[in-house]
Structure 1
Amino acid sequence: MGARTKARKRALDVLFAAEMRGEDAVAALDAATAAGEAPNNPYTTTLVRGVAEHREEIDATLTAHAQGWTLARMPAVDRNVLRLAVWEILHAEDVDSAVAISEALTLVGDLSTDDSPGFVNGVLSAVARDQRSAG
């Protein structure tokens, strides 16, 4: 498993746990750092902070592209994987959209429902398509 793949998994862990506890993701990350449990890959921090900083934009993008699904209706794992991937598609200049989508599919394939990969692929492909046409 590559360093960025591990960083994405750890970022997902932080985002998911923070959401389940009703905490701010950056505060959860800072608390982990203070406790000496900080992620050892700087990309994890970049991802968590990026998703937190752009959360409103990311959630609006997901709402626009997840036809027939509200954010609240999505499994929490899927919702947070989608947030990570959308941040990478929209804001990580050094990550190709296809890589962000592939990594997201791996995460939901390992951690979520059998239907999740198809759903996540459809949403992220639409986001990437719109991003290319806007760019």
Structure 2
Amino acid sequence: MGARTKARKRALDVLFEAEQRGVNVAAILEERLAHPGHQHPLPAYSQEIVRGIVDRWRELNVIIEDASTQWTLERMPAVDRNLIRIGAWEILCNDEVATAVAIDEAVELAADLSTDDSASFVNGVLGRIARDAPAIGSTSADD
């Protein structure tokens, strides 16, 4: 597993933990940074992902809901929802990651960590986001 793949997985851990505990994502991130416990320190790219998602939380959620034609965010499995957030952030906000790489990484993690149908679901939603990215970029407001 490459360094960025591991960083994405660790970012997913933070997002998932915050959701499961009902705690603000930024608070969990700061807690992990201050007290990593038995885990290795959180990679810089994990921190960048989580902070980027927190900064654009509402915007990303709207984009994801628009791209997910039959599932609301609340109905999605938590792992899928957060992998899609990571992939959407990489597609829309990180020029250093190719769109195909962002989608492939999210799909691989979904296949490893979620339901049997998750990989194809994540692929479909992120594919729609990638397809619509130019239009999204021109109409999105920076919060």
- Shorter chain as normaliser: what TM range? over 0.9
Per the alignment, residue 77 of structure 2 pairs with 75
C-alpha spacing 1:20/1:128, structure 2 compared with 1 (3 Å): same
Structure 1 alignment gaps of length 5 or more: none
Per the alignment, residue 61 of structure 1 pairs with 63
**Kept in 2: contact 1:105–1:120 (CA 8 A):** yes
Per the alignment, residue 96 of structure 2 pairs with 94
Per the alignment, residue 12 of structure 2 pairs with 12
TM (normalized to structure 2)? Answer: 0.90
Q: Give the number of equivalent residue pairs.
A: 135
State the Cα distance separating 1:40 from its structure 2 match: 3.8
Q: Distance in 1 between matches of 2:89 and 2:110?
A: 16
State the Cα distance separating 1:32 from its structure 2 match: 1.4
For residue 72 of structure 1, give the secondary structure of its aligned residue in structure 2. helix
* Superposition pairs of residues 106-121 of structure 1, within 5 angstroms: 106-121=108-123
State the Cα distance separating 1:122 from its structure 2 match: 0.7
Structure 2 alignment gaps of length 5 or more: 138-143
Letter in 2 for 1:29: L
**Kept in 1: contact 2:33–2:42 (CA 8 A):** no
Deviation per CA, 1:54-93: give whole Å up to 9, x if none: 1101000011010111000000000000000000000001
State the Cα distance separating 1:100 from its structure 2 match: 0.3
State the Cα distance separating 1:36 from its structure 2 match: 3.8
TM (normalized to structure 1)? Answer: 0.95
CA RMSD in angstroms, aligned pairs only:
1.4
> Runs of 4+ in structure 1 displaced over 6 angstroms?
none
State the Cα distance separating 1:52 from its structure 2 match: 0.8
Percentage of identical aligned residues: 52
Letter in 1 for 2:29: L
